Amino acid sequence: MNLTLRIWRQSGPEDKGRMVTYQVDGVSPDMSFLEMLDVLNERLILAGEEPVAFDHDCREGICGMCGLMINGDAHGPQRGTTACQLHMRQFSDGDTIDIEPWRARAFPVIKDLVVDRTAFDKIIAAGGYITAPTGSAPEAHSVPVAKADADAAFSSAACIGCGACVAACPNGSGMLFTAAKITQLSLLPQGQPERYTRVIGMVDAHDEAGFGGCTNAGECTAVCPKGIPLNTIGRLNRDYLRATAKRGGTPGS
């Protein structure tokens, strides 16, 4: 396959940045999208040019490092797939592909396609933990958990924090991420002691980081590589309403 790539090049946080066009020939349909970028980078290095910087680590769809806006789709055209698991057979010979970094004030570009996702860490730090001692794995039967709750908590816990929800959101909101991190804990008995301080802390950290507000548009869940459902945000909303209603009664407030 021969492709025309239009890639966002930005030498550093202060650079204005621009779309630059590259030709890539001899791409195999069995390559992953990142392998295709590797081919381009090898060629750029041989030609003495600066390679395109992009985030990646495990390349098997579970680490959450990769994240590219491919033709306006977060992680590309295939649903439930990270960019590293996207294969070039999803494209046709002669295609022009636009590749951009996640666009959000809370995710400033470091270089080319690499963005700084520290804002997500700040949200986690504001409440994504439990105070119960966690040493070795406990006896599974000592704390009963309803199967439905365990399943829902697990589907939230599948979030890899890649940031596609923010990238796709018309409001630049990180609410699907925040909701996933809140509900994976609030659905389980171990997460109950901090349930209501957690939701307030994490939503405040989300807003302070400069993310937009959620309008239930539903873009996030469509592009989420882990298929975190939109109703997760409903769980966050319910916890938030309860937390604000009973704030005075919350220990430590």
Give kind and range of the element (H or E) at residue 124: helix 118-125
Could you say which of 73, 83, 182, 203 contacts other proteins (CB under 8 A)?
Answer: 73
Counting contacts by CB under 8 A, is residue 45 touching other proteins? no
Q: Read off φ and ψ for residue 85, nearest 5 degrees.
A: -95, 0
Nearer to other proteins, 132 or 150 (CB): 150
Could you say which of 13, 80, 218, 227 contacts other proteins (CB under 8 A)?
Answer: 218
Subset of 122-181 contacting other proteins (CB under 8 A): 168, 170-173
Cβ 166 to other proteins, closest distance in Å?
8
Subset of 81-120 contacting other proteins (CB under 8 A): 98, 100, 103-106, 109
Nearer to other proteins, 28 or 215 (CB): 215
Counting contacts by CB under 8 A, is residue 52 touching other proteins? no
**Number of residues near other proteins (by CB under 8 A):** 40
Counting contacts by CB under 8 A, is residue 234 touching other proteins? yes
Q: State how far the Cα of 61 lies from the Cα of 203, in Å rounded to an integer.
A: 27
Query: What's the N-to-C CA distance of the chain in angstroms?
Result: 61
Q: Read off φ and ψ for residue 157, nearest 5 degrees.
A: -70, -15
Residues 6+ apart with CB under 8 A from 172: 103, 104, 105, 106, 166, 211, 212
Counting contacts by CB under 8 A, is residue 55 touching other proteins? no
Question: In Å, how far from its chain's centre is CA 84?
Answer: 14
Counting contacts by CB under 8 A, is residue 216 touching other proteins? yes
Contact 158, 224 (CB under 8 A): no
Cβ 213 to other proteins, closest distance in Å?
5
Counting contacts by CB under 8 A, is residue 222 touching other proteins? yes
Q: Strand locations in the chain, DSSP E?
A: 3-9, 18-24, 69-70, 73-74, 96-100, 109-111, 114-115
Cβ 58 to other proteins, closest distance in Å?
26
Q: Is the Cα torsion angle 151, 155, 158, 159 positive or negative in sign? A: negative
Q: State how far the Cα of 219 lies from the Cα of 208, in Å rounded to an integer.
A: 22
Cβ 164 to other proteins, closest distance in Å?
12
Cβ 76 to other proteins, closest distance in Å?
11
Footprint of other proteins on this chain (CB under 8 A)? 6, 8, 17, 19, 69, 71-73, 98, 100, 103-106, 109, 168, 170-173, 210-213, 215-219, 222-223, 229-231, 233-235, 237-238, 241
